[in-house]
Structure 1
Amino acid sequence: MYVLITYDVADTATDGAGRLRRVAKLCTQYGQRVQFSVFECLLEPAQFEQLKHDLLDVIDIERDSIRFYNLGSNWKRRVEHFGAKEGYDPQGFLMV
């Protein structure tokens, strides 16, 4: 399943910067950052549930927000990219 994750962490609070870093770090472990607070992740259902659980443990539900958009397995028809930076294809070739 292909999941788009967006978040807004209230980083003006004392502990906000730490939460923001932890959310970004978790998302980086599972996917690719495509904008400042937007990640695209190709996940198995169990991975998605684990990531969602971990992220919900980090955020402050009263001040922060996080959204999960499940684009499913047929995601290539649903994602269009225009502009700067190349699009991200998690199933494409990886050059090291």
Structure 2
Amino acid sequence: MLIIVTYDVSTETAAGRRRLRRVAKVCEGVGQRVQKSVFECKVNAMQYEDLERRLLAEIDEEQDNLRFYRLTEPSDLKIKQYGNFRSIDFNGPLVI
């Protein structure tokens, strides 16, 4: 499934800035950044639950905001993009 993860972490304190870096690192390990605090992730149900658990362990629910959007397939009919950013084709060949 394709999901969108968005977050807003309070960075007013040093602890908040550390939380922001840890949240971003978790998301970078699973998906691709499409904006500063927005990631697209292609995951199965187990990976989704693991990602949600790991992110909930990092945020402070009193100060931060975390949202998950589950998109239905086919995503190419539901997502329009404009501008110079082009997302990774998850179904295409992997080039390293």
Instruction: Specify the TM-score bucket, using the shorter chain as the normaliser.
Output: over 0.9
Residues in 1 aligned to 2:73 and 2:57: alpha-carbon distance in whole angstroms: 27
Instruction: Supply the RMSD in Å over aligned alpha carbons.
Output: 1.1
* SS of 1:15 mapped into structure 2: helix
Counterpart check, 1:81 vs 2:93: no
Shift of 1:74: 2.1
Shift of 1:93: 2.7
Shift of 1:78: 1.0
Residues in 2 aligned to 1:21 and 1:4: alpha-carbon distance in whole angstroms: 18
Shift of 1:89: 2.1
Gaps of 5+ in 1: none
Shift of 1:80: 0.9
* SS of 2:71 mapped into structure 1: strand
Superposition TM-score, scaled by structure 1 size? 0.92
Aligned match of 2:36: 36
Superposition TM-score, scaled by structure 2 size? 0.92
Residues in 2 aligned to 1:75 and 1:37: alpha-carbon distance in whole angstroms: 20
What count of residue pairs does the alignment treat as equivalent?
96
Code of the residue aligned with 1:6 in structure 2: it is T
Q: What does residue range 5-84 of structure 1 map to in structure 2 within 5 Å? A: 5-84=5-84
Residues in 1 aligned to 2:36 and 2:17: alpha-carbon distance in whole angstroms: 14
Residues in 1 aligned to 2:48 and 2:72: alpha-carbon distance in whole angstroms: 12
Percent of aligned pairs with the same residue?
43
Code of the residue aligned with 1:60 in structure 2: it is D
